[in-house]
Amino acid sequence: MPQRPKLVLVGQLSSYPWVFEAAVRAGIDLILVPRGDDSAESAERAEAVVELLPLDIDENSEGALAALADRYRREPFDGIMAGNERVVPFVARAARELGLTGLTEQAAAVVRDKRSMRRRLLDAGLGVPGFAVVDVPDAWTDALSLRFPVVVKPANGHSSLGVIRVDDKDDLEQAVARTWKLIETHHLGAADVSAPETGVLVEEYLDGPEVSAESLVHQGRVRVCGISWKGQLVGPYFEETTLRAPAQLPAEILAAIEAEVIGAHHAFGVTEGTTHTELRLVGGVRPVLLEMGARIGGGGFMHHLVHLSSGIDLAAEALRIHIGREPLCWRAESAPVGHVAAYQVPVGDGGRVKQVCGLDSVRDDPRVDYVVQAVGPGALLRPYPDFSGYPVMVISRHTSDAEAEAYRAHLARTLYVEYEEQG
C-alpha cells in the first residue's frame, strides 16, 4: 500500500478543528508545529496529527528552519502549510529550501505587510483608497493630506488590533500614538528576521459594507470559492462579530469582487494555497480590497462557510495544493448545501471573565455545527482597539439567509460574556 502523504502544519491552533478534520477527509497525516499558546495536550489529541514538532519560529527562526530540515532528512514529508498569519514568511522560506510547494518568499513578504499590498494594488491599477505610510511615530503629519475620515492601523497587524477610525484631523496624532503603542506591546513585526518591519498605515475610510472572499490558487490559477457577508462596520473600532455565507449580492457585484480578488493574487504574486481576502463595497457596489491573508481565514472557520455555501471542501483542497496536487474542484462540480452564519461573541467592555452566558442552549441547538470556546472564567479580556482573543465562536447552518440572520440576531441577544464586578 502506498504511504499516506504527510504535511507539516505550522501554528494551527488545535482547538480550531476545521483543518484537522479536513486532513482526515483528504487522507493526509499531519506533523503539527504547535502554536506557542497552544496546549500540548490539546495539540496531541487533534485529529490527523501523527507527530508534534515544536519549533521556536518567533524567537529563533534559523534554529527552527534547521530543525525542520533535520526532520525532513530523517524522513521526508510531502508538504508544509501555514496555520496562521505570522508564520507565512517562515513557511514560504522552508518550502523553498526543502523544494516543497509554497509561496515565493517575496509574495509572502508582500502579503504580510499592508503597505506593500497597497503599493502593489496601486501599481496594478486596482482599487486603492488614498493612503500614507507612517514609518516613525512623528511622521503622522504625512497623513494630514488624506481625505477624512481615515483609518489608522498597524502595517502588519491582525484581528483589527490597533485599528482606529479617525474623523477629525485634530485626533490623528493621538490615534497614531495609540496604534504604535499597541504594535509595541503585541510585538507586531517580531524578532524573526523574515518578519516585516513594523509601522503604521493610515488610509481613507472606505464607506460601505464588508465582504470576505476565500480562494484557492494552484500554479497561479485562482478560483474564488466563496463570498461571505460581514455587514456594516463603522468603527471607531472594528470588532468583527458576524459573517454569513453565501453573500446575497447581485451577480454583477459578485463578478466584480471576483475580478478584484483574482487581480490582487496576481499583483501580490500569490500562486499556491488558499487565501482570505477582505473587501469593502464602496457605496454598496464597488469592491476595494482591505487586505489578503495567504492562509485559511479565521483560523480555519472560513472553511466551513465555504464548504456549506458552495460545496467546495476548501481546507482539504488547500492541504492537497500544499502536497503538490491539483485541487479536486478544478475538475469536479460542487453543489451548495445551505446557508451559514458565524457569530463571534463580542468582547465589549472587557474585564475579568465571570462566565459566558447562554452557551447551553446554543450547544443543544440542532442548527449549530460548531461552538468553539476560547476563554473560560478568570480570563482577562481587553476591549478594542486592543485584542486578546475571541471568547466564543458559533457556526450554524440554515435554509435561507433570512434564517441565518435571524439566528445571528438571536445570539447577539442571548449569548454574551459576563464580567466580574470591577473591585
Nearest to ligand ADP of 98, 151 (CB atom)? 151
Q: How far apart are CA 9 and CA 30, in angstroms?
A: 6
Q: Give yes or no for residue 157 binding ligand ADP (CB under 6 A).
A: yes
Of 265-324, binders to ligand ADP (CB under 6 A) are 278, 280, 290-291
Q: How far is the CB of 161 from ligand ADP (least distance, A)?
A: 6
| Alpha-carbon gap, residue 27 to 175, rounded angstroms | 48
Q: Which of Ca ion, ligand ADP, none interacts with 15 (beta carbon under 5 to 8 A by kind)? A: none
Binding mask 125-144 for ligand ADP (x = CB under 6 A): ----x---------------
Bridge pairing between strands 164-166 and 150-154: antiparallel
- The partner in contact with residue 179, picked from Ca ion, ligand ADP, none with C-beta cut-offs of 5 to 8 angstroms by kind, is none
Q: What angle do CA 166, 171, 176 make, to 5 degrees?
A: 75
Q: Which residues pair with 341 in a beta bridge?
A: 244, 396
Q: Which of residues 271-330 bind Ca ion (CB under 5 A)?
A: 278
Candidates 25, 96, 119, 158: give the one binding ligand ADP (CB under 6 A).
158
Report the residue from 15, 104, 159, 388 that binds ligand ADP according to the rule CB under 6 A. 159
State the nearest-atom distance from the C-beta of 373 to Ca ion, in Å: 23
Cell of 297: 481565514
173 binds ligand ADP (CB under 6 A): no
Q: Which residues contact 152 (CB under 8 A, 6 or more apart)?
A: 143, 162, 163, 164, 165, 166, 172, 175, 176, 178, 179, 200, 201, 202
Rounded (5°) CA angle 266-161-287: 35
**Closest CB to Ca ion among residues 163, 314:** 163
Give least dist CB 132 to ligand ADP, A. 12
Query: Which listed residue (90, 140, 238, 384) binds ligand ADP by CB under 6 A?
Result: 238
Task: Print the binding letters for residues 322-361 with ligand ADP: x by CB under 6 A, - otherwise.
Answer: ----------------------------------------
Stretch of 42-50, 204-212, 265-273, 396-404 lying at the interface with ligand ADP (CB under 6 A):
204-212
Q: Please state, in angstroms and rounded to a whole number, the distance separating the CA atoms of residues 59 and 423.
A: 37
Q: How far apart are CA 45 and CA 203, in angstroms?
A: 43
Sign of the CA dihedral running 94, 28, 84, 110? positive
Q: Which DSSP helix (H) or strand (E) runs through 370?
A: strand 368-373
Which of these segments, 56-64, 102-110, 153-161, 369-377, binds ligand ADP (CB under 6 A)? 153-161
CA-to-CA distance for 34 and 66, rounded, in angstroms? 17
Residues within the interface to Ca ion (CB under 5 A): 278
Site residues for ligand ADP per CB under 6 A: 129, 151, 153, 157-161, 163, 203, 205-206, 210, 233, 238, 278, 280, 290-291
